[in-house]
């Protein structure tokens, strides 16, 4: 597809800075679109560039306000489809509703599947995303999904910190696979915190499996919003005589509650990405790494019809 349709990159209002950084990496500007909200809360989109027959990429993480950002993405996709775009790829660095991926109680929806259905119905023909809460979410789509990982970006930075005697910790049993991948990439040990969830914002750590005494610790997870899991894990780890405690999280959707918890926690620094917007540093404790190059390279390869699997490799 090197000599195929021209590539055009658009952004919604969710994270224009990330979209601009991606466009800069690809050596082009963002395409022109008007994206506004009427006084009654309705979204309005007008694509100002000619996109007939073009290869369209719309960058829009569906982070809070989640419903607003999803609706805005759907409207942009519909506008592009009606403007005769050749192909529409939704670039969703953070996929909202990803944790509602199964029916774990009677009479509840599987909202992640619903969102996938709506995106396809709107006209999305391909999805580029990163670190889904569960990999099986790719199967919710009846279109191609390119699933990238923040691990290469995170590991590069963590290596530069030169942490000695490091153990990677999964804050729950479900995150063991991710923690194991980080441990292997960093040449570190592996441990697991066994927890019990008390509510949507509260968790209770029970015990730790693995040798952590006297070690520096990196707690890894895919997402944090309230920071309850991270802070609780750090608390029990500190009682076991660990050294410095760091957290590595792909998506940090920080709220006022999580910021206060991080300030009062044993976590020295939270290392995350700019998959969602955020300028808070919580007294220097939050480090956001750019994923513009990772996503930009993914977009370039999709446009050219090349494989994206080599982007998973840790150099």
Compute the C-alpha angle 285/219/104, nearest 5°: 115
Sheet holding 245-252, edge to edge: 203-209, 189-197, 166-170, 216-224, 245-252, 267-273, 286-289
Q: Which of 195, 235, 238, 263 is catalytic?
A: 195
d(CA 76, CA 34): 10
What are the tokens at 305?
């019809």
DSSP states of 222-282 as a string?
Answer: EEESS-HHHHHHHHHHHHTT---EEEEEEEE---HHHHHHHHTSSEEEEEEESSS-----T
- Whether 268 is catalytic is no
d(CA 169, CA 280): 25
Active site residues: 195
């Amino acid at each position: 597809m090197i000599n195929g349709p021209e590539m055009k990159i658009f952004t919604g209002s969710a994270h224009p800075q990330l979209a601009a950084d991606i466009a800069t990496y690809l050596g082009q500007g963002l395409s022109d679109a008007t994206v506004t909200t009427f006084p009654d809360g309705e979204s309005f989109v007008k694509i100002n560039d000619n996109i007939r027959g073009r290869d369209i990429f719309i960058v829009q993480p569906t982070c809070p306000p989640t419903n607003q950002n999803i609706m805005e993405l759907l409207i942009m996709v519909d506008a592009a489809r009606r403007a005769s775009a050749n192909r529409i790829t939704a670039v969703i660095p953070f996929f909202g509703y990803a944790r509602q991926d199964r029916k774990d109680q009677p009479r509840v929806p599987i909202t992640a599947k619903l969102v996938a259905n709506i995106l396809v119905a709107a006209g999305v023909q391909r999805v580029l995303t990163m670190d889904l809460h569960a990999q099986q979410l790719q199967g919710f789509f009846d279109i191609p999904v390119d699933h990238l990982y923040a691990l290469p970006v995170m590991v590069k930075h963590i290596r530069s910190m030169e942490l000695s005697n490091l153990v990677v910790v999964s804050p729950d049993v479900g995150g063991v696979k991710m923690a194991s991948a980080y441990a292997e990439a960093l040449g570190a040990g592996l441990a697991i915190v066994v927890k019990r969830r008390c509510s949507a914002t509260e968790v209770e750590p029970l015990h730790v499996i693995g040798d952590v005494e006297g070690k520096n610790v990196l707690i890894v997870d895919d997402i944090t919003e309230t920071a309850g899991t991270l802070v609780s894990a750090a608390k029990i780890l500190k009682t076991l005589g660990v050294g410095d405690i760091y957290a590595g999280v792909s998506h940090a959707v920080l709220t006022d509650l999580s910021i206060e918890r991080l300030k009062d926690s044993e976590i020295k620094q939270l290392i995350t990405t700019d998959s969602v917007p955020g300028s808070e540093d919580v007294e220097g404790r939050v480090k956001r790494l750019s994923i513009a190059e990772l996503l930009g390279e993914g977009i370039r390869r999709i446009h050219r019809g090349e494989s994206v699997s080599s982007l998973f490799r840790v150099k």
